[in-house]
Amino acid sequence: MVYEILLDGQLVWHIPLLTVVISAAVIYTFLIKRWTTIKMNEKQPLLFLLGLGILYITTGSPFAVMSHLAFSLHMFHMSILYFIIPPLLLLGIPEPLFQQIGRHPIIKTGSKLFLPPMIALSGFAVLFLMYHTPLVLEGLSQSPFLRDGYTFVLFLLSFSMWWPLTAPDPKQRLDRKRKKRFAFWSGVFIMPACLLFIFNAFLSGMNNPFLSETTAHLCLPPGTSHTLLPPFFNSTSDQLTAGMLMLAIHKMGLLLASRFDNKGGGHRFPRFFVINKGSDS
């Protein structure tokens, strides 16, 4: 039963990740006090700590296991991971802290690996779509290491994808007009994955692919029953809900980036950023 999964802390509570999250919060607090005059009850620290908290709930709590029991729960899980957590964490980094951290040699070297946002957006959209195709799911189901690596790559790409909207440095953020354009293309690139889920709902009828033996054993404890949830989660409605949830949460992420944006700065992007040029030049 569901309560058996929730109570089995050894299987569903990720203690090492909790240690990492707490350590990140402590280091962040120390750096905020050392390099800025911002108080911990102000907007940016609260956004960053909220992002860390949601990250742990999403990936290290019983919800990570429960998300594989239903299509809609799974898509809610992935949408929060890629469309809400990255902008929260980026918006939570004050510019003075970002400038100080950026001077470290390791950070300078790592920043060179950061993909241009349009490339990251394209790569994310393709990998996100492929993740939910039977062939890729079958391959990932053979190795938890591959599955976690695939998810981690998507998570990293999501930061590059959100960078032009929520970069800590205002000079690396798009202006208002180009933000709208980038947000539009973001929705266009993510749409095929959503349509795949919706079409699959009609094609698969009552069969939820995330309750199949092939995919359910990715994260569920051995011996777990696949019929733990109400009938809704085994229906076409579940898959339709999954597609709509993804669209809604992606839109929430865009609104979040707009609502909590720190004003100021221009834009500084590589020429690859075709959407920044063209008619505006």
Distance separating alpha carbons of residues 117 and 122, to the nearest angstrom: 8
Assess contact for 161 and 189: CB atoms under 8 A.
no
- Closest to 55 in 3D by CA, of 73, 31, 77: 77
Assess contact for 216 and 226: CB atoms under 8 A.
yes
Write down the pLDDT at residue 262: 52
Q: Is 104 helix (H, G, I), strand (E, B) or coil?
A: coil
Token representation of residue 52: 């860390």
pTM of the complete model: 0.81
| Highest mean pLDDT out of 28-42, 101-115, 205-219 | 28-42
| Highest mean pLDDT out of 118-132, 189-203, 258-272 | 118-132
Q: How many CB atoms lie within 10 A of CB 50?
A: 16
Burial class (CB in 10 A: 0-12, 13-18, 19+), 132: buried
Q: How many CB atoms lie within 10 A of CB 155?
A: 17
Segment among 12-26, 47-61, 159-173, 232-246 with least mean pLDDT = 232-246
Predicted confidence (pLDDT) per residue in 224-251, tens digit: 444 455 554 556 677 788 888 888 999 9
- Closest to 11 in 3D by CA, of 154, 213, 192, 220: 220
Comparison of pLDDT for 110 and 265, the residue scoring more = 110
Write down the pLDDT at residue 230: 52
Predicted confidence (pLDDT) per residue in 118-164, tens digit: 888 999 999 998 887 777 877 777 777 888 899 999 999 999 999 99
Alpha-carbon torsion angle 151, 157, 158, 161, nearest 10: -160
Assess contact for 211 and 236: CB atoms under 8 A.
no
Q: What is the mean pLDDT of the chain?
A: 78
Helix axes 144-166, 71-83, angle to 10 degrees: 50
- Closest to 167 in 3D by CA, of 269, 278, 238: 269
Assess contact for 11 and 221: CB atoms under 8 A.
yes
Q: Which helix (H) or strand (E) holds 62?
A: helix 62-66
Write down the pLDDT at residue 117: 82
Q: How many domains does the chain have?
A: 1
- Closest to 243 in 3D by CA, of 206, 187, 199: 199
Structural domain for 243, as ranges: 2-280
Write down the pLDDT at residue 12: 65
The answer, yes or no, to whether residue 56 has pLDDT greater than 90, is: yes
Assess contact for 214 and 149: CB atoms under 8 A.
no
Token representation of residue 178: 């180009």
Token representation of residue 217: 């054993």
Token representation of residue 173: 């953020």
The answer, yes or no, to whether residue 264 has pLDDT greater than 70, is: no
